[in-house]
Amino acid sequence: MRIALFTRLPGLLGGISSIVIGLGHEFAGVVTTEGPANRYGPVPLATLLEARPEGSDVLVADSSARFAPLLASLEPDLALCGGFPVRIPAEAIAVPRLGVLNGHPSPLPRYRGPNPLGWAVRNGDRELGFTFHFMDAEIDTGPILLQGFAPIGPDDGAEELVEALFGLWSSLLPGALMLVEAGERGTAQSEEGASYAGFFERDYVQLDLRTADAAQRQVRAWAISVRRGDVDGPVTTIDGARVVVRRSRLDDAAGGVPLECADGSALWVVETRPAG
């Protein structure tokens, strides 16, 4: 198959293109866009050029209206999508003859939307789910092709969760492509158990110190969340200064500053940055 990719993340581009080529498929190129500011942090568009396979194109759209013509120019049989910050319109989804296969980091239909990892950690889930599904006109509602799971450890931070996510992509993608080649079109999603994982609300910015367990989940959830604009957290005051807590623990094994919680427990703050 000739396969194109929608992505904004160079790490995903490098990993997926290697798998696609290693399986004997032809990697057609990438369609991308600048996207909303701060969605994935400071990742310049130029880094996609460095991550692309030799001989492949990176096509940058200035709006979603350009996705369809740019994708058509790559002449793909199938397009993959992952780590992409803009909704793909129906006319672009219709371009590849086999459709667009999206990799979504949740056990769909749970956690549809832009911030599934953040909500999984916030809710104390013990597993990270991952779903390959065919895209349709709505958000994360298309037929499910393949799913997998990985454990979420109680102390897993952003680095560990991203590593687990890439592990699921890598392990599931070959099987998903085999199913597509075999003509499988997935199973329609049920609305039972469906939920939407939106951006964290401003009410969740202030660090909640009722219990250390809840505060620790809040720190970890913000560390892995997808952000909208300048909304970032959790924020608290330490030594008279307003700070965003980046890493914390439930013990003093890594040192840090203890914050007393309402139930008498303590959250040990290991890393902060000044609040904007």
Q: What is the pLDDT of residues 172-203, one digit of tens each?
A: 999 999 999 999 999 999 999 999 999 999 99
- Regarding whether 161 and 36 lie in a shared domain, the answer is yes
According to the model, what pLDDT value does residue 39 have? Answer: 66
The CATH number given to whatever domain includes residue 222 is 3.10.25.10
Residues 76 and 175 in one domain: yes
Please tell me the pTM assigned to this model: 0.91
Is residue 56 domain-shared with residue 137, that is, in the same domain? yes
The answer to whether residues 57 and 29 touch, using CB atoms and an 8 Å cutoff, is yes
| Structural domain includes residue 192 | no
Average pLDDT over residues 93-104: 98
Same-domain status, 33 and 120 = yes
Quick one: 115 and 164 in the same domain? yes
SS3 sequence of the chain = CEEEEECCCHHHHHHHHHHHHHCCCEEEEEEEECCCCCCCCCCCCHHHHHHCCCCCEEEEECCHHHHHHHHHHHCCCEEEECCCCCCCCHHHHCCCCCCEEEEECCCCCCCECCCHHHHHHHCCCCEEEEEEEECCCCCCCCCEEEEEEEECCCCCCHHHHHHHHHHHHHHHHHHHHHHHHCCCCCECCCCCCCCECCCCCHHHCECCCCCHHHHHHHHHHHHHCCCCCCCCCCEEEECCEEEEEEEEECCCCCCCEEEECCCCCEEEEEEEEECC
Whether residue 101 is found in the same domain as residue 173: yes
Give tens-digit pLDDT for 21-75.
999 999 999 999 987 766 666 778 888 888 999 889 999 999 999 999 999 999 9
Domain that residue 66 falls in: 2-181
Give yes or no: residues 146 and 254 share one domain: no
Task: Evaluate the CA torsion angle 187, 99, 111, 5 in order and state its sign.
Answer: positive
Q: Is residue 195 part of a domain?
A: no
**Is 26 part of any domain?**
yes
| Inside any domain, residue 226 | yes
Which among 208, 173, 45, 39 has a CA at the least distance from the CA of 118? 39
Statement to judge: residues 208 and 176 lie in one domain: no
Answer yes or no: is 186 within a domain.
Answer: no
* Residue 225 belongs to a domain: yes
| Overall number of domains in the chain | 2
Indicate whether 171 and 212 sit together in one domain: no
